Amino acid sequence: MLSAVAPTSLRPADLLRLTDQGAADVLDGRHDALLPPGGVFPTGERWCARLHSDDLVDLWLISWVPDKSTELHDHAGSLGALTVLSGSLSEYRWNGEGLHHRRLDAGDQASFPLGWVHDVTHAPTSTPDPATASGPTLSVHAYSPPLTAMSYYEIGERGALRRTRSVLTDLPEGDA
């Protein structure tokens, strides 16, 4: 009997746990040396820093800014997961017929199996507190095996998903 061979020994639950721990480490200041000077994140471009890397998994901190989507993409042969530290994200996932939207707020988690195609972007926070509404949107992402490539997609005139290009990259979520 044929059986699918998983590309990694880690499960989505393992990746979710790693992003949760990574988020806690960022909040505890354990990665302060990797943050931009003064802890001030760029406001015009997405920013990222690799928190950890080994043969099995990459862990990234990403800062998101308005109006900079990732474009529809997959993660090639890698599983993925994320935990939102602060702010909010919008995800538009291809579900085979169209784009399904979900909002991910601080504390929310998501995992991405193989074949997951999505577009991710900063979302305005819904909090009425201006002190937290103006803060950056930060998320920690894990990929296993570590990212090596991504493909990009568009939705064609007939409503089908069409791959437009594939790139070799070890950077997360659309070449932050």
b/e 2-20 (16+ beta carbons within 10 angstroms → b): eeeeeebebebebbbbbbb
Residue nearer to Fe ion on the CB measure, 2 or 168:
168
| Cα separation values, 133 from 99, 124, 149, 161, Å | 27, 8, 34, 35
At its nearest, how many Å lie between Fe ion and the CB of residue 73? 6
Which residues contribute to the site for Fe ion (CB under 5 A)? Answer: 173
Between the two ends of the chain, the Cα-to-Cα distance in Å is 42
At its nearest, how many Å lie between Fe ion and the CB of residue 74? 7
Closest to 61 measured CA to CA, from 99, 100, 106, 31: 31
Q: How far is it, in rounded angstroms, from Cα 72 to Cα 91?
A: 10
Residue nearer to Fe ion on the CB measure, 28 or 67:
67
Q: How far is it, in rounded angstroms, from Cα 100 to Cα 95?
A: 6
Residue nearer to Fe ion on the CB measure, 49 or 127:
49
Residue nearer to Fe ion on the CB measure, 14 or 173:
173
At its nearest, how many Å lie between Fe ion and the CB of residue 36? 22
Residue nearer to Fe ion on the CB measure, 7 or 29:
7
Q: Counting Cβ atoms within 10 Å, is residue 52 exposed (0-12), middle (13-18) or buried (19+)?
A: middle
Residue of minimal CB distance from Fe ion? 173
At its nearest, how many Å lie between Fe ion and the CB of residue 84? 14
At its nearest, how many Å lie between Fe ion and the CB of residue 31? 21
Closest to 103 measured CA to CA, from 126, 80, 81, 85: 126
